[in-house]
Structure 1
Amino acid sequence: MGILTGGGDVPGLNACIKTVVWRAEEMGARVLGIRRGWHGLLHFNPEDDAPQPLHVVELQKTAIRAVDRSGGTFLHTSRTNPALVVPAQFPDFVSEDGYKIKKDQKRDYTGHILNVLEKLGIDLLLPIGGDDTLSYAAHLHQKGVPVISIPKTMDNDVFGTDICIGFSTAVTRSVDFITALRSNVGSHERIGVVELFGRHSGETSLMAAHLAGVDRAVISEVPFDMERLARLLLKDKKSNPSNYSILSISEGAHMRGGEKVQYGSPDAYGHLKLGGIGFVVSEALKKITGERTIYQQVAYLMRSGAPDALDRMVAISFANLAMELLGKNQSGRMVALRHGNYTHVPATTAVEGKKTVDVDELYDKETYRPKVKSMLGKPMFLY
């Protein structure tokens, strides 16, 4: 088997990898760790018979026994997309013949990836990633590669599963940071603006806002009116005996009639960097209300450190489910949690839609607050 982690790191990845390796040894299977996600396969030279530990390493039980005690991914990660490789990333040992040049001089190296998988003798590929990483896994599945995908992302926006590895810890970290920041915002009697990750989906941000009891929460799905938001936060501040208020905002949020705050060059999946909308809002609040603000971008701290208990459980359970599918000779699947139960869906499910907040059920667009119409029948995480 080959296992890799792609896209952003999250807590729980190492626990998932460790469980796969331990189960594989029990089943008499070898596990190859592919380093830096799809980058490892892209830059592996199938004509070179010497070991290439920069790209692929064999994983053994005794060598990785302690990896689950830390966050991140010891296999490292990247946002490489072998179907759209920019010239600077072209492997110099691969012949140009047969590799179609796409727009902007990008090249599809899927043929090379298939050759590498054959050279390595990989009978099953276990990619752990978000919708970008798993979209290429679905592409390989359609090319005949046996794949069992494992969803991870702190945004919790992989289509087809209610929970992804990394989501729980991101919410926990965010609640802790918002709660801690109250001491600073309250001491200085200001309006606090906390910017959280969340590109297309404000689910992590909204859940954190709901649990931390912020005054107002702006999410990616709902454009906001700056003037109204300012009035509401000023009202919240004046009605608070400690004379402060707190706003949480998703990095993908934008004002009505405005654009998302993006910068940099597109990555391999066409995404620009997001971040800074909290600063824009913080500056606007100063001008509109005349109040001082404290702006805090939580960013990578949301997915830093070791996983919480729930992310450990999901990571280990997803790994065990993947190995169970292997034992039944089933592939072309993505492990998932749906309606509180572990299950599996077609690997192509990850690219069939975008998972976003059910705004009508969970959010008040007029007051910019989390709102749960009814708890009866709701899953534990509401989404």
Structure 2
Amino acid sequence: MKRVLVATGGGDCPGLNAVIRAVVKRAAQEKDWEVVGSIQSFDGILKEPTEIKILDDAAVKGIHYQGGTIIGTTTKGGPFAWPVKNKDGSWGSADRSDEMIRKLQYLGIDAVISIGGDGSQKISQALYEKGLNIIGVPKTIDNDLSATDFTFGYQTAVQICTEAVDKLKTTAASHNRVFVLEAMGRDAGWIALSAAIAGGAEACLIPEIPYDIKKVKQKLDTRFLKGKGFGIIVVAEGAMPKGGTALAEESTEVGNPNLKLSGAADRLAAELKVAGVEADIRTTVLGHLQRGGIPVAYDRVLATQFGVKAFEMVLEGKFGQMVAYRHPQVVGVPLPEAIGQQNLVDPKANLVQTAKGVGIAFGD
């Protein structure tokens, strides 16, 4: 019996369970393959005792419409940076990648399917270079991987953000307020941009187009007459004013050195007040609401396509590659290509021009 191990790493994302289910369903057709899951990414392999679980039809029954991941995930540590507590009480890290590969061999793992975003796929490439048979599956609600047209989870995040715009419009209109809605998007503004168009926001501020607060105010001024009116601004968490930077603070979590972005909406509200906006301004931060809940149908379909393709690439021995959607095909691309460049919003892109065509301001 051959064994393929599935791991989900990085932030959670709607559609992860649909990928896991698809891998199991496809593997079951081969009769001589067993699927196992590593609990909380590769941590399940590195921990003592080992934390893995058999993934069979019973384990994945009905999980395709569930949010999250049944095998857990983590943004901390990993095989190349395992947290280690020093004698003086401080924390450092250790490279346990060789140890993990030996353990996988001991467990009879013939191949690994790693489901994750940019950081996870960089780990996949490093493990492949060490000789591990590994296939990557792209996962990020930010849709910021350039090797694939779309990543699953993105459409669900856009739907959640759009519904928030819809709801805020009614309360904003009732009280003649301006609402600033903060969406996820560290470097890429895709969620904010799509939700602003779908929800009919007055302004959309994204990392790729630094904004001039005076121009944002000018747009809001057109929405108010004798104090009556309302306005909705969708701002990505990584948005920044011209000449400024995104608001971020260094994480203090052990094994998670990434910067944490927060405060874009509150900063914008304060800037608008200083600029002279007289209307009452309120902020709403969606945060992890965009990651949770039931995936929309599009993401379930795409995730299922990715899971089936990933296992078929294992059968074909196409290791060191990541599954990608390139309309209308689902294909494999080399991992270096997959992680080589981010998929950012081009300020001249058609979607931006569409937004401007319906009057959405970007503050540029």
Would you say same fold, with TM above 0.5?
yes
- The residue aligned with 1:34 is 38
Distance in 2 (CA, whole Å) between partners of 1:270 and 1:340 is 38
- The residue aligned with 2:47 is 43
How far residue 328 of structure 1 moved from its aligned partner, in angstroms, is 2.2
1:342 to 2:330 alignment = yes
- How many residues end up aligned between the 2 structures? 348
Distance in 2 (CA, whole Å) between partners of 1:199 and 1:238 is 35
Q: Which has the higher strand share?
A: 2
Cα separation, partners in 2 of 1:187 and 1:293, compared to 1, 3 Å: same
Unaligned runs of 5+ in 2: 359-364
Alignment match of 1:81 (pick from 78, 82, 104) = 78
> 1:141, 1:347 within 8 Å by CA — same for their partners in 2?
no
Cα separation, partners in 2 of 1:350 and 1:237, compared to 1, 3 Å: farther
CA offset digits 1:250-291 (Å, max 9, x no partner) = 001111222211124266564211121101111222332122
Equivalent residues in 2 for 1:83-162 (5 A)? 83-88=80-85, 105-162=92-149
Matched residues, percent identical? 31
Alignment match of 1:317 (pick from 301, 305, 311) = 305
Alignment match of 2:21 (pick from 18, 25, 32) = 18
Letter aligned with residue 119 of structure 1: Y
How far residue 207 of structure 1 moved from its aligned partner, in angstroms, is 1.2
How far residue 323 of structure 1 moved from its aligned partner, in angstroms, is 2.0
Unaligned runs of 5+ in 1: 46-51, 91-103, 374-383
- The residue aligned with 1:370 is 355
Cα separation, partners in 2 of 1:271 and 1:362, compared to 1, 3 Å: farther
Alignment match of 1:265 (pick from 246, 251, 271) = 251
SS of aligned partner of 1:8: coil
> 1:14, 1:73 within 8 Å by CA — same for their partners in 2?
yes
Cα separation, partners in 2 of 1:295 and 1:6, compared to 1, 3 Å: same
How far residue 38 of structure 1 moved from its aligned partner, in angstroms, is 2.4
Letter aligned with residue 256 of structure 1: K
CA offset digits 1:86-134 (Å, max 9, x no partner) = 324x9xxxxxxxxxxxxx8432221122122112211110011100111
Equivalent residues in 2 for 1:227-238 (5 A)? 227-238=214-225
Cα separation, partners in 2 of 1:146 and 1:266, compared to 1, 3 Å: farther
Equivalent residues in 2 for 1:204-219 (5 A)? 204-219=191-206
Letter aligned with residue 193 of structure 2: L
Alignment match of 1:355 (pick from 324, 340, 343) = 343
Letter aligned with residue 6 of structure 1: G
> 2:11, 2:73 within 8 Å by CA — same for their partners in 1?
yes
- The residue aligned with 2:66 is 70
- The residue aligned with 1:198 is 185
Distance in 1 (CA, whole Å) between partners of 2:140 and 2:47 is 25
> 1:191, 1:291 within 8 Å by CA — same for their partners in 2?
yes
Taking structure 2 as the reference length, the TM-score comes to 0.89
- The residue aligned with 1:332 is 320
SS of aligned partner of 2:214: helix
- The residue aligned with 1:381 is none
Cα separation, partners in 2 of 1:234 and 1:122, compared to 1, 3 Å: same
1:255 to 2:258 alignment = no
